[in-house]
């Protein structure tokens, strides 16, 4: 759903503290090769409809991954996680053609692979399709 991706980029752009901390940037689905650390990637990983008698609700899962190459500790990554949560947990997104209901954190996984720290953060986004 391209509208959610656009809304996430708009929110990231407006969140000065998170944007300044994520010096390598935030990318939709994939970062360019050679991106400087720290950086982040987000991706829509599922989307389901929920029909009621009056509304069609979209229930989306959006996964953020933030990366840091600080080798001796995960302190930088923990600070980035806090800024990500301030920027996106319980935030309000402006999504074209939808009424926004909520965005909430569902799960957090911390990992280290080949000296690169990673947080995987899963958010649930709920929307109602605007009827014309």
Read off the pLDDT of residues 60-82 as tens digits, 9 standing for 90 and up. 999 999 999 886 567 888 999 99
Query: What per-residue confidence (pLDDT) applies to 40?
Result: 97
Count of domains for the chain = 1
Query: What per-residue confidence (pLDDT) applies to 10?
Result: 96
pTM: 0.88
The residues, any chain, with a CB within 8 Å of residue 45's CB and separated by 6 or more, are 61, 62, 63, 122
Query: What per-residue confidence (pLDDT) applies to 99?
Result: 86
> What is the extent of the structural domain holding 58?
2-129
Given strand 116-129, what is the order of strands in its sheet?
A: 26-28, 39-51, 56-68, 116-129, 98-113
Q: What is the CATH number of the domain that holds 92?
A: 3.30.2000.30
Query: What per-residue confidence (pLDDT) applies to 114?
Result: 86
Walk along the chain (132 residues) in steps of 10 and give the mean pLDDT of each run: 90 96 96 95 80 68 93 80 96 88 94 89 90 60
- What distance in Å separates the CA atoms of residue 8 and residue 5, rounded to the nearest whole number? 5
């Amino acid at each position: 759903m391209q509208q959610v991706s656009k809304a996430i980029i708009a929110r990231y752009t407006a969140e000065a503290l998170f944007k300044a901390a994520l010096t390598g940037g935030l990318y939709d689905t994939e970062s360019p090769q050679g991106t400087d650390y720290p950086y982040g990637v987000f991706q829509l990983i599922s989307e389901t409809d929920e029909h009621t008698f009056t509304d069609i609700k979209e229930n989306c899962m959006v996964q953020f991954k933030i990366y840091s190459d600080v080798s001796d500790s995960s302190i930088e990554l923990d600070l980035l996680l806090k800024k990500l949560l301030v920027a996106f947990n319980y935030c309000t997104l402006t999504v074209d053609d939808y009424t926004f209901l909520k965005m909430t954190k569902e799960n957090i996984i911390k990992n280290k692979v080949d000296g690169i720290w990673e947080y995987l953060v899963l958010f649930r986004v709920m929307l109602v399709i605007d009827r014309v």
